[in-house]
């Protein structure tokens, strides 16, 4: 029998590992799913058109040479280093973000040459062994450019080799060297990211992004319609930052509602529903972030409720709702969510107001918009807009601050439920991994790290960047700012 002094543990606290989780209230799902559905093939991490076609060329070359995965990875990394270096050599590109791995590659080029062998080593310009193919892989697969086959990269069915090769073969030629002079890159500036628009690979990519006469219900059909919608907005309005400027135009601007082309695009109503729902997502996330970030040390849930209550006016829910702008009706959506007086309120007040506006839109949207604003399956799900409408009616004549305290209790409980739902047991470390920043113990709440708010990405900025790379739109300077416009090729799609 062992002596008591040899017994170690139990380590109740040490068996749990906490880490910052994403989506702490899980209010993003509907918007994320709809954005992916309405814009398949472009994501938040695929900004550059030419990486799509470069990866396709590498896929073909690896297949042709019979390369095993490790060899294909090296070829792909070398090609990505060369593409980035050529782009950096070409200079600044207004409206275009830097090529992948730019900081490290730019610093290395200051020596006057490009050490491709060194830079393309795993963990150098990119952390992943497949370089930056990972973020693009799903999109390229949807477009038919590359695919994942036998644990290796392979060419997709949409690849037209001649069009990619004629545009990008010099990249592969340079990638075969271990070191090249920066001057050698200057001879290949046609392979720069900006060269895609007027080259054969740009033509290929345009054809894949916007196929001819697609089934409107297919991925290609929805993507084409979204591209035409965004191009039409860029044509009719002065747009500088696409997501920031275009969503209110789409949601509220009568000129767009009346525009024959937009009216012919069913997808416009779908996006209207999504961008309006995104205001509620923004509101929940901003509200939660503000509350969480106010937690200093151990706090009672009641005092966290006070934080929200004290940020709001006194009075009833009814009187509060009377102070909110009108959302309009099925025939006319009014810009309540961007009303200047509402925007000027403190974050907590503004967020609660946005939630109530979302609730009041539930029965006042055209049918096609409503279907994308809230999925019928969401019904009375907690925190959905119809749930907000329900408690707004239930609390109508009661105190707003009391309601605020009740709501904070709901959110805290939900955050813990969500964290536990996403928790997992690690056999390796023997710990229970809980993804959350906020924890409740014995009625006291504390936080490990700060929370950030913000709406779900619509992917419109990345789409515009890909469209620019493919020659469908461009950013030109006006009054010290960049304004996006469709190119002639883009306008041709608007017929
Ligand atoms: Zn360029």
Classify residue 9 as exposed, middle or buried by CB count within 10 Å of its CB (0-12, 13-18, 19+).
exposed
pLDDT per residue over 237-249, tens digit each?
Answer: 999 999 999 999 9
**Distance from the alpha carbon of residue 191 to the mean position of ligand 1, in angstroms:** 8
What is the mean predicted confidence (pLDDT) over 437-452? 88
Confidence (pLDDT) at 243:
94
Region of 192 (left: φ > 0; alpha: ψ -120 to 50; beta: rest) is: beta
Classify residue 397 as exposed, middle or buried by CB count within 10 Å of its CB (0-12, 13-18, 19+).
exposed
Task: Give me the percent of the chain exceeding a pLDDT of 70.
Answer: 97
Nearest-5° angle of CA 243, CA 248, CA 252?
150
**Distance from the alpha carbon of residue 203 to the mean position of ligand 1, in angstroms:** 17
**Distance from the alpha carbon of residue 54 to the mean position of ligand 1, in angstroms:** 15
**Distance from the alpha carbon of residue 285 to the mean position of ligand 1, in angstroms:** 38
Tell me how far apart the alpha carbons of residues 311 and 290 are, in angstroms, rounded to a whole number: 11
**Distance from the alpha carbon of residue 479 to the mean position of ligand 1, in angstroms:** 23
**pLDDT beyond 80 at 284:** yes
State the angle between helix axes of 133-143 and 49-65 in degrees (0 to 180), rounded to the nearest 10.
Answer: 90
**Distance from the alpha carbon of residue 198 to the mean position of ligand 1, in angstroms:** 11
**Distance from the alpha carbon of residue 192 to the mean position of ligand 1, in angstroms:** 5
Phi and psi, residue 149, nearest 5°:
-140, 125
**Distance from the alpha carbon of residue 157 to the mean position of ligand 1, in angstroms:** 29
Could you tell me where the beta strands, DSSP code E, fall in 392-494?
A: 424-426, 431-435, 438-441, 444-447, 473-478, 481-486
Within the chain, what is the greatest distance between any pair of CA atoms? 88
Q: Which domains does the chain have, with CATH numbers?
A: 15-39+267-429+436-447 (no CATH), 49-198 (no CATH), 219-264+459-492 (1.10.10.10)
Model confidence band, residue 10 (pLDDT cutoffs 50, 70, 90): very low
List 316's β-bridge partners, or say none. 399
**Distance from the alpha carbon of residue 355 to the mean position of ligand 1, in angstroms:** 44
Confidence (pLDDT) at 15:
58
**Distance from the alpha carbon of residue 96 to the mean position of ligand 1, in angstroms:** 10
The pTM is what? 0.93
pLDDT per residue over 91-115, tens digit each?
Answer: 999 889 999 999 999 999 999 999 9
Confidence (pLDDT) at 33:
96
Region of 362 (left: φ > 0; alpha: ψ -120 to 50; beta: rest) is: alpha
**Distance from the alpha carbon of residue 48 to the mean position of ligand 1, in angstroms:** 12
Confidence (pLDDT) at 245:
96
**Distance from the alpha carbon of residue 88 to the mean position of ligand 1, in angstroms:** 8
**Distance from the alpha carbon of residue 331 to the mean position of ligand 1, in angstroms:** 46
Neighbours of ion ligand 1 (CB under 5 A): 90, 192, 194
pLDDT per residue over 246-282, tens digit each?
Answer: 999 999 999 888 999 999 999 999 999 999 999 999 9
Confidence (pLDDT) at 6:
57
**Distance from the alpha carbon of residue 94 to the mean position of ligand 1, in angstroms:** 10
pLDDT per residue over 386-399, tens digit each?
Answer: 999 999 999 999 99
CB atoms within 10 A of CB 314: 11
Written as one string, the DSSP assignment of 399-415 is BHHHHHHHHHHHHHHHH
Tell me how far apart the alpha carbons of residues 146 and 156 are, in angstroms, rounded to a whole number: 4
pLDDT per residue over 357-387, tens digit each?
Answer: 999 999 999 999 999 999 988 888 999 999 9
What is the average pLDDT score of the chain? 93
Question: Distance between terminal CA atoms of the chain?
Answer: 88
**Distance from the alpha carbon of residue 489 to the mean position of ligand 1, in angstroms:** 19
Model confidence band, residue 4 (pLDDT cutoffs 50, 70, 90): very low
Task: Return the SS3 of 316.
Answer: strand
Confidence (pLDDT) at 3:
46
**Distance from the alpha carbon of residue 101 to the mean position of ligand 1, in angstroms:** 16
């Amino acid at each position: 029998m062992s002596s008591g002094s040899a017994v170690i543990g139990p380590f109740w606290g040490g068996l749990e590992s906490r880490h910052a989780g994403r989506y702490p209230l899980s209010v993003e799902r509907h918007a994320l799913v709809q954005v992916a559905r309405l814009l398949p093939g472009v994501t938040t991490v695929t900004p550059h058109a030419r990486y799509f076609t470069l990866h396709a060329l590498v896929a073909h070359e690896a297949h042709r040479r019979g390369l095993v995965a490790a060899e294909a990875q090296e070829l792909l990394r070398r090609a990505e280093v060369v593409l980035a270096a050529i782009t950096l050599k070409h200079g600044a590109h207004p409206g275009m973000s830097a090529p992948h791995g730019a900081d490290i590659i730019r610093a290395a080029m200051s020596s006057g040459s490009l050490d491709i062998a060194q830079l393309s080593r795993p963990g150098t310009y990119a952390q992943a062994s497949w370089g930056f193919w990972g973020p693009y892989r799903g999109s390229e697969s949807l477009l038919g450019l590359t695919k994942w086959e036998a644990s290796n990269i392979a060419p997709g069915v949409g690849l037209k080799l001649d069009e990619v090769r004629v545009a990008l073969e010099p990249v592969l030629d340079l990638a075969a060297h271990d070191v090249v002079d920066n001057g050698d890159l200057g001879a290949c500036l046609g392979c720069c990211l900006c060269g895609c628009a007027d080259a054969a690979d740009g033509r290929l990519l345009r054809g894949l992004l916007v196929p001819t006469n697609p089934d409107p219900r297919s991925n290609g059909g929805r993507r084409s319609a979204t591209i035409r919608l965004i191009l039409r907005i860029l044509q009719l309005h002065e747009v500088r930052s696409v997501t920031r400027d275009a969503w209110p135009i789409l949601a509220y601007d009568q000129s767009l509602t009346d525009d024959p082309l937009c009216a012919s695009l069913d997808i416009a109503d779908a996006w209207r529903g999504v961008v309006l729902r995104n205001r509620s997502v923004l509101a929940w996330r901003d509200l939660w972030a503000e509350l969480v970030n106010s937690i200093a040390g151990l706090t009672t849930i009641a005092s966290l409720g006070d934080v929200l209550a004290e940020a709001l006016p006194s009075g009833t829910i009814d009187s509060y709702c009377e102070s909110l702008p009108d959302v309009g009706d099925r025939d006319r959506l009014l810009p309540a969510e961007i009303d200047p007086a509402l925007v000027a309120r403190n974050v907590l007040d503004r967020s609660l107001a946005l939630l109530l506006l979302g609730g009041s839109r539930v029965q006042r949207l055209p049918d096609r918009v409503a279907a994308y604003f809230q999925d019928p399956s969401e019904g009375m799900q907690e925190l959905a807009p119809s749930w907000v409408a329900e408690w707004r009616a239930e609390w109508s004549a009661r105190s707003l601050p009391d309601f605020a305290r009740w709501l904070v209790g709901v959110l805290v409980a939900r955050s813990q439920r969500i964290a536990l739902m996403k928790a997992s047991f690690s056999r390796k470390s023997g710990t229970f991994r809980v993804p959350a920043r906020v924890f409740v113990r014995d009625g006291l709440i504390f936080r490990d790290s700060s929370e950030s708010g913000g709406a779900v990405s619509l992917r419109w900025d990345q789409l515009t960047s890909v469209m620019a790379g493919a020659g469908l739109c461009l950013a030109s300077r006006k009054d010290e700012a960049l304004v996006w416009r469709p190119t002639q090729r883009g306008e041709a799609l608007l017929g």
